[in-house]
């Protein structure tokens, strides 16, 4: 995707960078700009408890990525194969909601699908 097609995401960059969402933004931007998957697929995977690595050593992990998912207490981001940041699942949901709201504003026909996956994400980590 080109930057023009990602304006809905780019407009949230400052907010995300200032609210512990820098790594999440960078991962989503890399994923979408390199056509690794769609945003709907990204939020669907998250709602199923799976993180994503758009390139080797760069990504994030959720509970299904752990050897023992019951030990999952935080979302871990990796940049260059090193743990770069962690946030609580609740904060991850908050950031994903900001991004999803912006996506839905740009692509209203996808509203029901995105809201469904966001609801599943909230239920999973409540």
Task: Give tens-digit pLDDT for 81-118.
Answer: 788 999 999 999 999 999 999 999 999 999 999 999 99
Task: Give tens-digit pLDDT for 18-49.
Answer: 999 999 999 999 999 999 999 999 999 999 99
Mind giving me the DSSP string for 68-118?
Answer: SGGG--SEEEEETTEEEEEE-HHHHHHHHHHHHHHHHHH-GGGHHHHHHHH
Q: 50 to each of 1, 75, 98, 108, how far by Cα in Å? A: 23, 11, 19, 25
Contact between residue 33 and residue 3 where contact means Cβ atoms under 8 Å apart:
yes
Q: How far apart are CA 26 and CA 30, in angstroms?
A: 6
* Domain definitions of the chain by residue range: 3-124
Q: Is the pLDDT of residue 4 over 90?
A: no
Q: Is the pLDDT of residue 79 over 80?
A: yes
pTM over 0.85: yes
């Amino acid at each position: 995707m080109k930057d023009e097609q990602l304006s809905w995401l780019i407009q949230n960059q400052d907010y995300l960078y200032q609210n512990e969402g820098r790594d999440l933004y960078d991962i989503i931007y890399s994923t979408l700009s390199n056509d690794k998957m769609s945003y709907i697929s990204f939020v669907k995977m998250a709602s199923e408890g799976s993180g994503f690595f758009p390139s080797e050593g760069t990504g994030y992990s959720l509970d299904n990525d752990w050897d023992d998912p019951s030990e999952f207490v935080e979302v871990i981001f990796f940049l260059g194969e090193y743990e770069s940041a962690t946030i609580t699942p609740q904060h991850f949901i908050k950031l994903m909601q900001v991004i999803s709201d912006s996506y839905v504003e740009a692509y209203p026909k996808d509203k029901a699908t995105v809201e469904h996956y966001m609801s599943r994400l909230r239920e999973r980590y409540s």
